[in-house]
């Protein structure tokens, strides 16, 4: 029998065959322990690779691990390190933005990311996670998040990728230090982009939020092999229409973020015909002020059920959200099994 690892990736029929499954585990990182068949992932808490921002809860060090089943190889191209098994690709662009400035650094990071995708069979972005320091700081008369948006959108246009409808699910958070770091997950077929009926699409925000709009969709659904699909819900905040609401009120901002997540989850369910229960999703909650942890946690646990897998597995990070008035941002992903065809 032909083993999965021996699949000839260059074969013309390969793209037509079902992919080997992609799986996910949120793992407590023990020292010197990386899971088998790790493609990559984001780590928080202790460790040289961890995001440069405090982990508020739970204690320890954690890895959001994306695992393949094929023969995975590590590669480097420009500022991107990536691992692919030919079915899935996880990468990370890391670039010190200080010599370039944020706009040029973002454009470079995304240009390198798209060069990786163009050179691989896994050319379709499923999800992007953007992290950089001082997101709300102004340099040269504009906010670093707005500079980032300009560089990111230009790179999408340069690579002839849609910078509007169909752009990938994403998040963008301010860390307390470290270089611009962009994690990404890609597959062989494009996901279905989902928008939130309660919100203006971010790529259509008016220019009061910056000359170039943020390039992301509110959510994406993708087949991940093995008869399962994933729903990625982008970073979600207390925004209705395009306006931030409940200024200064962490409780209501958390409730509104969860109402937005519920709306986008429902949109994804009706579009895909699949069920992604809120209580089984994997959440990361970004809290601007560490003091707000208790309120955010209380509201979140009431929404998903305090005894749920979601409450048990949630990660709370101290991070800055991309508008100064936003105090909390929540992202999530979850899985659904396809209905049997027999
Ligand atoms: C928002 O809805 C909040 O720039 O990639 C959320 C998710 C936000 C992704 C991004 C920004 C991004 O506009 C901020």
**Which residue matches tokens 């029998």?**
1
Q: Is the CB of 172 under 6 A from ligand 1?
A: yes
Task: Report how far ligand 1's centroid is from the alpha carbon of 209 (Å).
Answer: 11
Q: Are 84 and 187 in contact (CB under 8 A)?
A: no
Instruction: Find the 235 Cα to ligand 1 centroid distance in Å.
Output: 6
The helices-and-strands tally (H runs, E runs) of the chain is 5, 20
Report the percentage of the chain scoring pLDDT > 70: 94
Tell me, using a 6 A CB cutoff, whether residue 230 lines ligand 1. no
SS3 275: coil
* Pocket flag, ligand 1, residue 128 (CB < 6 Å): no
Choice from 173, 193, 202 to test ligand 1 binding pocket (greatest atom count within 8 A of CB): 202
Report DSSP letters for 29-59, one per residue.
--TT---TTEEEEEEESSSTTS-SS-EEESS
- Ligand 1 nearest-atom number relative to CA 130: 5
pLDDT at 340: 66
The whole-number pLDDT of residue 86 equals 95
Is the pLDDT at 16 greater than 70? The verdict is no
Q: Is the CB of 171 under 6 A from ligand 1?
A: yes
147 pocket-lining for ligand 1 (C-beta < 6 Å):
no
CA of 138 to the centre of ligand 1 (A): 18
41 Cα–ligand 1 center, Å: 20
324-337 mean pLDDT: 98
Alpha-carbon separation of residue 340 from 224, 227, 228, 268 (angstroms) = 16, 8, 11, 19
CA of 100 to the centre of ligand 1 (A): 23
pLDDT score, position 341: 59
Mode of pairing for the β-strands spanning 80-84 and 88-95 = antiparallel
Cβ atoms < 10 Å from Cβ of 269: 17
Residue 133 reports pLDDT greater than 50: yes
For residue range 315-324, list pLDDT tens digits in order.
Answer: 999 999 999 9
Per residue in 295-315, pLDDT tens?
A: 999 999 999 999 999 999 999
Tell me what pLDDT residue 115 has: 98
Residue 10 pLDDT greater than 50, yes or no: no
What atom of ligand 1 comes closest to residue 128's alpha carbon?
Answer: 5
Tens digit of each residue's pLDDT (9 = 90 or more) over 198-250: 999 999 999 999 999 999 999 999 999 999 999 999 999 999 999 999 999 99
Flag whether pLDDT at 112 surpasses 70: yes
Confidence (pLDDT) at 342: 55
* pLDDT at position 4 over 70: no
Check residue 15 and give its pLDDT.
47
Residue 70 is predicted with a pLDDT of: 86
Confidence of residue 1 (pLDDT cuts 50, 70, 90): very low
For atom 6 of ligand 1, the residue with the nearest CA is 235
109 lines ligand 1 (CB under 6 A): no
Terminal Cα-to-Cα distance of the chain (whole angstroms): 26
52-93 pLDDT per residue, tens:
999 999 999 999 999 999 889 999 999 999 999 999 999 999
Kindly report the pTM of this predicted structure. 0.94
Classify 311 in phi/psi space as left (phi over 0), alpha (psi -120 to 50) or beta: alpha
Report, as residue numbers or ranges, the catalytic residues.
329
219 touches ligand 1 (CB under 6 Å): no
State the average pLDDT for the chain. 94
Task: Check residue 34 and give its pLDDT.
Answer: 75
Closest ligand 1 atom to the C-alpha of 145?
4
- Cα of 94 vs centre of ligand 1, distance in Å, is 20
């Amino acid at each position: 029998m032909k083993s999965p690892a021996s699949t000839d990736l260059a074969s013309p029929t390969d793209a037509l065959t079902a992919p080997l499954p992609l799986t996910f585990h949120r793992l407590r990182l023990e020292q010197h322990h990386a899971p088998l068949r790790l493609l990559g992932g984001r780590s928080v808490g202790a460790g040289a690779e961890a995001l440069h921002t405090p982990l508020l809860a739970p204690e320890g060090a954690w890895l959001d691990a994306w695992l393949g089943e094929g023969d995975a190889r590590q590669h480097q191209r420009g500022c991107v390190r990536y691992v692919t098994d030919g079915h899935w690709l996880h990468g990370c662009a890391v670039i010190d933005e200080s010599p370039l400035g944020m706009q040029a650094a973002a454009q470079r990071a995304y240009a390198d990311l798209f060069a990786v995708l163009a050179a691989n069979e896994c050319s379709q972005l499923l999800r992007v996670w953007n992290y950089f320091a001082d997101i709300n700081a102004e340099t040269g008369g504009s906010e670093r998040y707005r500079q980032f948006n300009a560089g990111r959108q230009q790179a999408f246009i340069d690579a002839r990728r849609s910078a509007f409808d169909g752009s990938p699910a994403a998040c963008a958070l301010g860390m307390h230090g470290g270089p611009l770091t962009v994690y990404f997950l890609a597959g062989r077929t494009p996901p279905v982009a989902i928008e939130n009926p309660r919100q203006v699409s971010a790529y259509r925000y008016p220019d009061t939020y910056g000359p170039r709009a943020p390039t992301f969709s509110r959510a994406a659904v993708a087949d991940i092999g093995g008869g399962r699909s994933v729903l990625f819900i982008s970073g979600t905040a207390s925004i209705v229409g395009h306006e931030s609401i409940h200024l200064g009120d962490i409780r209501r901002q958390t409730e509104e973020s969860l109402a937005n997540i519920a709306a986008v989850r429902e949109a994804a369910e009706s579009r895909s015909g699949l069920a992604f229960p809120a209580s089984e999703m994997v959440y990361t909650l970004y809290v601007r002020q560490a003091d707000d942890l208790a309120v955010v946690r209380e509201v979140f646990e009431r929404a998903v059920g305090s005894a749920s897998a979601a409450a048990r597995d949630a990660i709370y990070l101290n991070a800055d959200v991309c508008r100064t008035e936003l105090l909390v941002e929540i992202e999530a992903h979850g899985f659904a099994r396809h209905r049997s065809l027999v």
